[in-house]
Chains A and B, each alone.
Chain A
Amino acid sequence: MSPFHVPSEAIILERIQESPNIFTLRLQFADNTQAFKFMPGQFNMLYLYGVGEVAISIVSDPLDDHFFAHTIRVVGRTTEGLSKLKARDCVGIRGPFGRGWPMLEAEGKDLLLVTGGLGCAPLVSVIEYIMRRREQFAHVDILQGVKHADDMIWRKRYAQWAQAPDVNVLLTADLPDHVNWPGDLKGNVVQLFKRLDLRPDNSLAMLCGPELMMKAAITELQQHNMSDDNIWLSLERNMHCGIGQCGHCQMGEKFVCKDGPVFAYPEISANFHLDSI
């Protein structure tokens, strides 16, 4: 039975409430004899019994190959139902799907990690990955923008990451002036770029979040002389299959689920700028 066509049972080991509407599930396959191999940036299809499947990024580290974790925002029927599950409840898992972040290419380079909204989910796995292998990468800038202060999950982890050697964490929120906010700045995450000391020749940028934010970030990076080849981004589309078959996730001639969700910018630059593509 193909693990990509039919789900396998997974058991919830732990459920963590990250913010009022964001939670994390730590999971283990019921049949845990084989290691679960994946790369940061890949995703699973999570099945809630009787309700349906949703695409969710894997946020845990590939070295922990006998359990894995998903961080989920409640937005609709399935995610709401998933949020009601507790430890020892079961879900179905198909995956892992897609192509993850270019971790080999990133080795030895300065990394610029830019996220917005819950866009942080696919990137959190990368950050964890980098932190556990800190010596393989040069300077790291982490730029996180959020819409609501509530979204600023993993605050402790951001603080921890900021303590690591040669890691610069900048946080910003798109909030009105009167709202109290403990981050570095208010406003768009792209505004943080001017605070950076980029070395365009030896940097690799990874972007994740709303498409408007990523488009603005790309323009900004190009102005900082970053070559397009070194700009990577994770896209999101409606997904029903994860294996390049149902057609829902297409963007131009790409199947986001299997050709991506992580793309080097030149791979999609021909169409990415178009509206409603």
Chain B
Amino acid sequence: MSDIDGQTQDRQIPDKAVFLPLAQFQQFLELVQQRYKIIGPVVKDEAIQYQPINDIHALTRGIRVEQNPGQYSLEASDNNLFFAWSNGAQALKPLLFSPKESLWQAQRDEQGRLGFVALTAKPTATAVIGVRACDLAALALQDQHFLEKAQPDPQYQARRQALFLIGVDCTHPANTCFCAATHDGPALQTGFDIALSELAEGFLLRPGSRQGRALLAQLDLAPATATQQKTATQAIQRAADMQQRCLPEDNSHQQLYNQAEHPHWQAIAERCLACGNCTMVCPTCFCYSAHTETALDGGNATQVRQWDSCFSHGHSNLHGHPVRADIKSRYRQWLSHKLTGWLEQFGKSGCVGCGRCITWCPVGIDLTAEAQHLTQPGESV
């Protein structure tokens, strides 16, 4: 299982990659399965989704993903690779920070006395295969948000400790991907237990944690050849070079609060539907709201949290009125927080370049274009 300390302490010398022939991929999966329930990318409802799988035939294969602002479609690919596509709408976030979950239960007895019970998640050990660099970068931020504090979040912590991560280097980014510009991908950097690089004839595997190393040791694989290493590196380089989008290169987007009165916010607001899709698919967004659900017999009540969005009407309610009443102020909150607020809160931008918010925006608003526009010098304010 992931052991954040183990990863840093154990990795004085980078591990040499080993080669897993395609014919042994199923065996590798079965080895993982001995200890973990496996979740991997499958095609479902015309999209790539992370679902429980039992063998390699359930995995995505020979497909690619076409992503553009407001558009997502699966196409047949000209190769037979498993992972020659970029991300789907969700990856790790819902596995750790559940879209809806119970926090605690209150019980009331006949005298009106109250008892409270924590309802901490009891997850089974789970391995996720096919995790991308952008999602590991987002995971590191969510770890910081939910765990790196005096009182770590019990639900998130329980799930996090049960997670084993098998990442894959990206070779086929979507049009919407810009992880190279945010320095979060397309190559896996840290945060994985095992990293895969996919080649036509198999996979290069390298461990990123003690647990990953122990698992690989059971396989008795030959070291990767220099040619294989070179092919893998070149594929990643090509993936980086293919990416078109970027945030303003002078880092001016890191001071978006200074542009709070920019007229362009209004222009965005005229297109934005405030549907909140961007916040739902964004792997770093963490807002939730809490409410009480009462049992029909009235004997107990459960406190439940559910993903919320800074685009929702009630998010900023204060004394009966939202602080951010219009779409303009909500979009401004979202983008300024993501690109600027996170720097102070977490020491890093909240955008890992996954491009999901561009793809899943029904009207195709592209944050990279908006950030360029908002920070362009000479714009009349």
Which residues of A come within 8 Å of B, CB atoms? 1-2, 4-9, 30, 47, 49-53, 75-76, 88-92, 236-238, 240-241, 243-248, 250, 252-253, 255, 270-271, 274-277
Contact = CB atoms under 8 A, between A and B. Distances in A.
Contacts of A51: 292
Given A90-B114, A271-B260, 7 more contacts: A5-B118, A5-B151, A6-B103, A50-B106, A238-B317, A253-B341, A276-B323
B315 A238 contact: yes
B301 A50 contact: yes
Nearest to B294: A50
Interface residues of B, number: 57
Interface in B330-353: 332-333, 336-337, 340-345
A274 B262 CA distance: 12
B286 A6 contact: no
B346 to A, nearest CB: 10
Contacts of A47: 106, 303
Contacts, number: 130
Contact of A92 (B103, B114, B314, B332): B114
A52 B292 contact: yes
Interface in B199-229: none
B36 interface: no
Nearest to A244: B149
A92 B106 contact: yes
Contact of A75 (B112, B151, B320): B320
A30 B114 CA distance: 9
Contact of B323 (A30, A246, A277): A277
Contacts of A50: 106, 108, 292, 294, 298, 301
B159 interface: no
A50 B298 CA distance: 8
Nearest to A48: B292
A162 B290 CA distance: 42
Contacts of B292: 50-52
Interface of B: 103-104, 106, 108, 112-118, 145-146, 149, 151, 153-154, 257, 260-261, 286-292, 294, 298, 301, 303, 305, 308, 310, 314-320, 323-326, 328-329, 332-333, 336-337, 340-345
B286 A245 contact: yes
Among A237, A246, A255, A270, max chain B CB count under 10 A is at: A246
10 contacts: A5-B118, A5-B154, A7-B114, A49-B114, A237-B323, A240-B288, A248-B315, A252-B336, A253-B341, A253-B343
B116 A246 contact: no
Contacts of A76: 320
A252 to B, nearest CB: 6
A90 B287 contact: no
Given A237-B316, A243-B151, A252-B257, A1 B118 contact: yes
Contacts of A2: 151, 154
Given A4-B151, A247-B288, A91 B103 contact: no
A205 to B, nearest CB: 23
Contacts of B146: 245
Contact of B305 (A49, A91, A244, A246): A246
A252 B108 contact: no
Contacts of A6: 103-104, 116-118
A76 B320 CA distance: 9
B257 A237 contact: no
A78 to B, nearest CB: 9
